């Protein structure tokens, strides 16, 4: 009984081993067949497509779009502004001279009888005359709508802008009462200046102390007696 069982087991083992060899042979044959077949490249492009043809088609479409845009008029959405102009006035004369020291001179005249001229130069100002300031002097004239000839003269310097002209309104004259009060104020200021000068001459030290106090008062500082 034992020999029969052993024989059966050996036969079964040989049969399984033969089956495995058969499967290996079949698998090897299948792999060899797959390797022998011609390889085919996978592409996302549709069959029969041509790159050159597609490029030409895209170019033609672009040209058609450009032609369409050029044919269509561009609508202007900006508001229409109508400007009313009068007669153009020509410039009859225009002269300008520029100096290397900052000075200049300019003048012009128009066809509707406007004339203007101006000159400027640098002048040193300040306590030590070390601050350059531009001084401008000039005049201009024109015809008013009522036919009156208007003449204006002006000066601009470190003291401000000053203008003269017959057409410029002037303040009314000062009344005698106000003028009398102004005269009293000016007389008191003059008397005070004379008194300070006399004290400075007779007592220089006291005058110097008063001057120092005045400087402190001007700066808003306190000082002792």
Check if the beta carbon of residue 13 is closer than 8 Å to that of residue 21.
no
Largest Cα span, the chain: 165
pTM confidence score: 0.42
SS3 213: helix
| 157/121 Cα distance (integer angstroms) | 10
Q: Going residue by residue through the chain, which has 225 residues, state the pLDDT in tens, using 9 for 90 and above.
A: 455 455 555 546 555 666 666 677 667 766 766 566 555 554 555 555 566 677 777 767 766 666 656 666 667 777 777 777 778 889 999 999 999 988 999 999 999 999 999 999 999 988 788 888 999 999 999 999 899 999 999 999 988 999 999 888 888 888 899 999 999 999 999 998 888 888 888 888 877 887 888 787 777 776 555
Nearest residue to 129 (alpha-carbon basis) of 100, 102, 156, 158: 158
């Amino acid at each position: 009984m034992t020999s029969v069982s052993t024989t059966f087991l050996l036969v079964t083992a040989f049969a399984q081993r033969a089956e495995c060899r058969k499967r290996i042979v079949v698998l090897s044959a299948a792999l060899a067949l797959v390797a022998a077949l011609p390889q085919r490249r996978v592409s996302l492009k549709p069959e029969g497509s041509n790159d050159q043809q597609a490029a030409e088609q895209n170019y033609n479409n672009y040209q058609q779009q450009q032609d369409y845009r050029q044919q269509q008029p561009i609508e202007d959405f900006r508001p229409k502004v109508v400007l009313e102009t009068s007669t153009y006035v020509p410039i009859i004369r225009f002269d300008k001279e520029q100096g290397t020291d900052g000075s200049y001179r300019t003048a012009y005249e128009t066809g509707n009888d406007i004339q203007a001229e101006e000159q400027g130069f640098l002048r040193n100002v300040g306590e030590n005359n070390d601050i350059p300031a531009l001084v401008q002097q000039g005049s201009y004239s024109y015809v008013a709508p009522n036919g009156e000839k208007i003449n204006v003269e002006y000066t601009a310097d470190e003291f401000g802008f000053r203008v003269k002209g017959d057409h410029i309104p002037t303040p009314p004259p000062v009344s005698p009462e106000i003028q009398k009060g102004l005269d009293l104020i000016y007389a008191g200021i003059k008397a005070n200046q004379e008194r300070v000068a006399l004290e400075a001459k007779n007592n220089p030290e006291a005058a110097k102390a008063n001057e120092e106090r005045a400087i402190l008062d001007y700066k808003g500082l306190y000082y002792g007696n």
